Amino acid sequence: MEDGVDSTIAVAEVRVPFGVVDLKGSRVVQFRDNPVLTLLASTGYMVLGPEAIMHVRNGVELNAALERISETGLLHAVRCDGPIVAVDSLGSLAVAHELLAE
């Protein structure tokens, strides 16, 4: 963990493979078909420090706790290279296991 931070999350660069729209109310004000957008997404791996744990123990949801410490500049991110696989089903868990085994 870097000096002067409370917690660290792992992030990975992901590309958005979808058309992107900007809305004003329910009207589309801009449409970009398959733009080349890369975003940094949380991988779900994190090391929580004392302040984050204190928030969670006081009943604050984890995402809200991370937002609070990020507002104070105490949340650090580490970029992860490599494949990112959602493990939200039994099939995707098997794929993630195979990738880790390689």
Q: What mean pLDDT is predicted for residues 5-25?
A: 87
Structure tokens at 66: 């991370």
Q: Are 80 and 35 in contact (CB under 8 A)?
A: no
pLDDT at 48 over 80: yes
What mean pLDDT, rounded, does the chain reach?
A: 85
Q: What mean pLDDT is predicted for residues 66-94?
A: 83
pLDDT at 52 over 70: yes
pLDDT at 15 over 70: yes
Q: pTM, whole model, 2 decimals?
A: 0.62
Q: Which pLDDT value is given to residue 85?
A: 66
Superfamily of domain 7-101 in the CATH hierarchy: Spore Coat Polysaccharide Biosynthesis Protein SpsA; Chain A (3.90.550.10)
Separation CA 46–CA 56 (nearest Å): 14
pLDDT at 1 over 70: no
